[in-house]
Structure 1
Amino acid sequence: MRKYLVPAAILVVSCAFALALAALVWRSGTDGDRLRFDGFADDAVGRIGNRISLHMSLLEATRAHLRVTNELRNKDAFSAYVSGLDLSHRYGGIQGIGYAEAVRAGDTAEAASFLSSTYNIETGVWPAETDQPVRTPILLLEPQDRRNQAAMGYDMLSNPVRREAMVRAAREDTFAATGPVELVQEIDENRQAGFLVYLPLETEGASADAGKAVLLAKGFVYAPFRAGDFITAALSSGSALPLKLRLYDSRIAPEQLLFDSTGAGPFETTGDFRTFRRIDFGGRNWIVDLAPGEDFSRTASDLPAVLLAVLGVALSILLSALAFLQARRAEAVAALAAASAESLAQKDLLLREMNHRIKNSITRMLAMARQTSRHSSDMDEFMMSYEARLGAMAKSQEILTRSGRRGATVKELLEAELGQVFGGSLQNCELCGPEVEIDEKAVQALGLTFHELATNALKYGAIAEDDGTLTVVWSLTAGEIAIEWMEKGAERPERSEPVRKGFGTRLIEMNIERELGGRIERNFAASGLTVALRFPQAASIAANARPKQSATVGQA
């Protein structure tokens, strides 16, 4: 698992770092373009603000002129004054400069007479009806082109939008701009949204009454603007700006739109390349919506960031692959070292086992000699019996060796091992259990176990006594093979569990617990030893439950 975990971690971390670095490179280029765009936006708003200041100064100068000359109904003098300003070249975007006089609603005869004698306008003050106590007809408006002629005599106070700005200007004695309106000068098809800016002629004090405040102002110097012409003139005061622009009054809504540089075209933009700026003047709050235009060229390229990301991911994959190969190599080295260590351990175990078996064989031969001599009347009988038992040991060894290669049943293994240990016929031994065949691994493990148990029984156990018996019972239940080894003889109090474990005991535990994954239980009773072995059925290559077979051998 670790060989996958470390390379995966390297891949994730290095890819994240590479992508973050690529994003930083891309972001740095984008930030540069963003700064350029913000610079263009600031320039555009600054140009509009400068144009507003220029026109406000013009209105202020015109009011001062009218106050000084007091020629409020002198068309020629006013025309000469405006002509000297050169509006079309120096003040682009303005429709003209005018003066609207404040008169009571019932006192418009003089104004109508002035319009008739000066401009040949017989309609007088219009519209004819009004619900206001005061009227403000346009008496002066220059230059007198076709558009401005259409506005002469118009009572601007009769319109609610214009009236709000005029009353505010009269009360505050300052510039007051209207919201979006359609100028009365719009007499052809090329119409634009417009606005007006008013400046009261006199400042004799504000009044809570709107009509009285307008009368106290005596009149208004004003300027009508077509919003499109005004913004175009403002932006054209320098080099062309690669921007799209929309101008709203007070809030972003279709009815509040003053100007759209795209006409009815799309205004979509992506990312951070869009900004909103505000311009406050004349009591109005303009909202300028700015976005990059078609001719806004990005100086930053996505290619370096993309190449960096691809290269970083490729290097990350390479590093991860190298880490994986290194982990595989380390794992192979570790496995080789473990195999070598295991091989050495097995060789050591085999040498110790060989030594142990040789010593046990000699001990068994001596024990069989003593046991045989105990039951022989003369040397000939001893030699005959002893030779038979040595032959049985050889035969059992041959069976055991052959079983180790191909597997064997529990009964065959017991008979071979007990025959090898006890020699000849099995005296006082009973073997009982079904025919259960086990594989080579189990044969080796159980063969060593039976060998050790039989050797210990012959050397120290009850079977070494004349009246001692050995019973071995095995069964197959619940996926587990159980073997009961029971030695029984005369009760002797000195039979007890050894103080320390010898090599044989440790060998038995290693075979049952480690090799077969089982468990072992010992019970040292006064009448003899009982050993219970349990290990999983997986150690058995075949298990055929047949009627129990027993082998009982009496005294020879």
Structure 2
Amino acid sequence: MKRLFPLLTFLAVALISMVMAGFAYFATQEATRIKFEATVDDAISRIETRLDLHLTLLRATQAFFDAHGNHVSRTDFQAFISALDVGVNFPGLRGIGVLRFVRAGDEAVAERAIRQEQGLERKVYPQSEQKWRAPVFLFEPLKPSSDKVIGFDMFAEPVRRAAIEAAMQDDAHHATAPIMLGNNSEVEPYPGFIVFARLKLDAAPVTVDATTPVTQGFLYAAFRANELFQSALRRIPLLPVHVDIYDSSIEARNLIFSSATPAVTGIGRIVDTRRMNVAGRQWILQFQPTTAFSPPSSRVIPVMLGLFGLLSAVAIALVARYKERAYDAAERLHETTEKSLLEKDLMLQEMKHRIKNLITRILAISRQTALRATDVKEFSESFSARLQAMAASQDMLTRSRWQKADLSELLRIELGQVFGKDLPEGLLSGPQVLLNETATQALGLTFHELATNALKYGEAGNSVDALKVDWRVERLDRKRVLVLNWRESGQEDLAEPESTGFGTRFIDMNITRELDGSIDRRFLPSGLQVEIRIPLK
């Protein structure tokens, strides 16, 4: 021991140094995480500000239509959008349009309106089996490359239709899931989304020739996802973040936008996930740092701290070589060894006893199950169920270390694992009593021993009806005392055994020492009666 003491000292000091270095490392990581969260907050603010600006434009357009009694010509609408200079002030916005909402079969009304306002001979397309049609009536800024959007029935497409139907229910804005825009133009399709707002317009009546029909229509704004989010994130100063934006769930098919700048991968990878509600859709934003992100403190500090600790451990170990503490260390080791041997011996005895009882119980269960089973399948199912009950009891004894346990449930589990789950009515009776972890452990072992003995030696081994357990709570000097009676009947020539085994001594130790209670056994001609009294805390 004298030779090992310097080594143990070195290991202890080195361990403490490593723990301190570890704390320093995690503190560095935490500081990095906090700084990155602040950067993410800035990015979120930029994105929200940009989205609010664009949705405010949609609300302003809605107010423009309301102010004109929803009678806005193409010329007025074009002048309104042109004055806003959408291309400069609202990057990412492809344009704002108006949908006519007509019943299927009344497409001629929408086609006539398109011809009057746009000067275009345009059929409503594509073909649809829906009861309603929602063709594009106005769209600005309308370019030669995008004029094919006029007449396109958005209600025929499932993703757009879902957002339109949501907008029909209230006056709020409702966005679509991610879609590819530009399919109706000569440009390359690009990812984006559309936001719809309900709008009352002169629209299709029941007959084509009516002059003042009124029904509902919709305003919509189409957004280019890449241009929209890049314009928000490329403001000076540039943020060292990579962001992936998903709609509803993190799946490849729901990806709306992904930053071009790659994220840092490998050890120490940081991922900050945020959620955002945009026009009735929940977006999930995953942020990761890029190579431009600089941690607030260097990782060299924990390494240096660890090296300094190791050097200190070596110095202390060299000093400890010359200290004379062998006698005290040997004495403590001797006491610890003696105590460990005693605990080991007790544990071995308890283990042997419980294994013996467990085997006896399993054999008894199998014997009872076989007597009542009509075939192998019934035997297997019943036998497996009873073994599972035994396992459930052990699980409850484990859980009782952390929470209050009900006495009735504890008894039912312990008796159930011995006699089977189907215990007769009236076997247990008494008020609800909650036990602390010490009482649960001790009483669980006590009930285990009593039930096992009843199965092996008592009439309860033939019929569980021969067993009755009841309890009550008494008050003694302002303290509560649990009084539990265990009664076995139907036995003949019952006499007190000449010697007590380990199980009996184990029960007495649990009740008297662990719980500061008392136990009284009465071997009557009619059967065994056990009264247990323990104070409740």
Q: TM-score range by the shorter chain?
A: 0.5 to 0.7
Alignment of 1:161-172 (within 5 A): 161-172=159-170
What amino acid sits opposite 1:291 in the alignment? Q
Structure 2 match to 1:101: 100
The correspondence for 1:219, drawn from 213, 217, 222, is 217
**Distance of 1:167 and 1:137 partners within structure 2:** 15
Task: Report deviation, 1:146.
Answer: 4.2
Q: Are 1:316 and 2:313 matched, yes or no? A: yes
1:274 and 2:275 equivalent? Answer: no
Supply the AA of the counterpart residue of 1:52. Answer: L
Cα offset, 1:145, TM superposition: 2.4
The residue aligned with 1:393 is: none
Aligned to 2:133: 135
Judged with a 3 Å threshold, the aligned counterparts in structure 2 of structure 1 residues 190 and 266 are, in CA distance, closer, same or farther, namely farther
Range that drifts further, 146-155 or 51-60: 146-155
CA distance in 1, matches of 2:161, 2:264: 34
1:73–1:139 contact (8 Å) kept in structure 2: no
Any conservation in 2 of the 1:150–1:185 contact (CA below 8 Å)? no
Structure-1 separation of matches of 2:200 and 2:251: 36
Which whole-Å deviations, capped at 9, do the CAs of 1:85-114 have from their partners, x for residues lacking one? Answer: 222222222111111111122222232233
SS at match of 2:138: strand
Give a deviation string over 1:43-79, Cα, whole Å, max 9, x none. 1112212222222221111111112214545111001
Paired with 1:152 and 1:114, the residues of 2 have a C-alpha distance of: 11
Letter paired with 2:170: E
State whether structure 2 residue 6 is matched by structure 1 residue 2: no
CA distance in 1, matches of 2:217, 2:54: 19
- The amino acid across from 1:257 in the alignment is L
Q: 1:430-509 to 2 correspondence within 5 Å?
A: none
In structure 1, C-alpha distance between the alignment counterparts of 2:291 and 2:37, rounded to whole Å: 16
Residue pair 1:71, 1:77 contacting (<8 A) in 2 also: no
Q: Partners of 2:219 and 2:297 in 1: how far apart?
A: 50
Residue in structure 2 matched with residue 340 of structure 1 by the alignment: none
CA positional deviation for 1:289: 0.8
Residues of 1 paired with 2:215 and 2:322: CA distance? 92
Q: Give the aligned partner of residue 31 of structure 1.
A: 30
Q: 1:289 aligns with which of 286, 291, 294?
A: 286
User: What is the CA-CA distance between 1:242 and the residue it aligns to?
Assistant: 0.4
Please tell me whether the aligned partners of residues 97 and 222 of structure 1 are also in contact (alpha carbons under 8 angstroms): yes
2:196 to 183, 195, 198: 198
2:159, 2:177 within 8 Å by CA — same for their partners in 1? Answer: yes
Q: Within the alignment, does 1:304 sit opposite 2:301 as a pair?
A: yes
- CA shift in 2, pair 1:266/1:307, >3 Å: closer
Structure 1 unmatched ranges of 5 or more: 204-214, 332-556
Q: 2:438 — aligned with what?
A: none
Which of 146, 167, 172 in structure 2 is aligned with 1:148? 146
How far apart in 1 are the matches of 2:186 and 2:137?
A: 23
User: Given that residues 264 and 289 in structure 2 are in contact (C-alpha distance below 8 angstroms), is that contact kept between their aligned partners in structure 1?
Assistant: no
Aligned equivalents of 1:141 and 1:269: distance in 2?
47
Q: Contact 1:15–1:313 at 8 Å: present in 2 too?
A: yes
1:376-415: per-residue Cα shift (whole Å, max 9, x none)? xxxxxxxxxxxxxxxxxxxxxxxxxxxxxxxxxxxxxxxx
The amino acid of 1:192's aligned partner reads Y
Q: List per-residue Cα deviations over 1:98-155 (Å, max 9, x = no partner).
A: 111111222222322333454453332111x111121111111111124532322111
Aligned residue in 2 for 1:341: none
Pairwise CA distance, 1:241:
0.8
CA deviation after TM superposition for structure 1 residue 187, in Å: 4.3
Q: State the Cα deviation string for residues 489-519 of structure 1 (Å, max 9, x = none).
A: xxxxxxxxxxxxxxxxxxxxxxxxxxxxxxx
Please say which structure displays the higher CA radius of gyration. 1
Q: Which residue of structure 2 lines up, in the alignment, with residue 243 of structure 1?
A: 241
**Which amino acid in the other structure matches residue 37 of structure 2?**
D
The alpha carbon displacement at 1:183 in A equals: 1.6
- Does the 8 Å contact 1:269/1:292 carry over to 2? no
Aligned sequence identity (%): 30
Contact kept? 2:96, 2:220, Cα under 8 Å: yes
Alignment correspondent of 1:403 = none
SS in 1 for 2:17: helix
Q: Are the structure 2 counterparts of residues 267 and 97 from structure 1 closer, same or farther at C-alpha, using a change threshold of 3 Å?
A: farther
> What is the SS of the residue equivalent to 1:97?
strand
SS at match of 1:182: strand
Change (3 A) 1:66 1:31: same
Q: 1:494 matched to which residue of 2?
A: none
Q: Can you list the C-alpha shifts for 1:163-201, whole angstroms capped at 9, x where unaligned?
A: 111111111221111101112457467543211100101
Q: Does the CA-based 8 Å contact 2:99-2:217 persist in structure 1?
A: yes
Instruction: Give the Cα separation in 2 of the matches to 1:116 and 1:196.
Output: 25
Deviation at 1:237, TM superposition (A): 4.2
Residues 190/108 of structure 1: CA separation in 2 closer, same or farther (3 Å cut): closer
Question: Partners of 1:195 and 1:308 in 2: how far apart?
Answer: 52
| TM-score, scaled to structure 2 | 0.55
Q: In 2 relative to 1, CA 146–242 (structure 1 residues): closer, same or farther, beyond 3 Å?
A: farther
Contact map agreement 2:101 2:133 (CA 8 A) in 1: yes
**Is the 1:47–1:234 contact (alpha carbons within 8 Å) kept by the matching residues of 2?**
yes
Say whether the 8 Å CA contact 1:199–1:221 is kept in structure 2.
Answer: yes
Offset, 1:309: 0.6
Inter-CA distance 326–189: structure 2 relative to 1 (3 Å threshold): farther
Asked whether the 8 Å contact 1:99–1:140 carries over to 2, the reply is: yes
For 1:216 and 1:16, locate their aligned partners in 2 and report how far apart those are by CA, in whole Å: 81
| Amino acid in the other structure paired with 1:32 | A
The SS at the match of 1:106 is coil
**Alignment RMSD (CA, Å):** 2.7
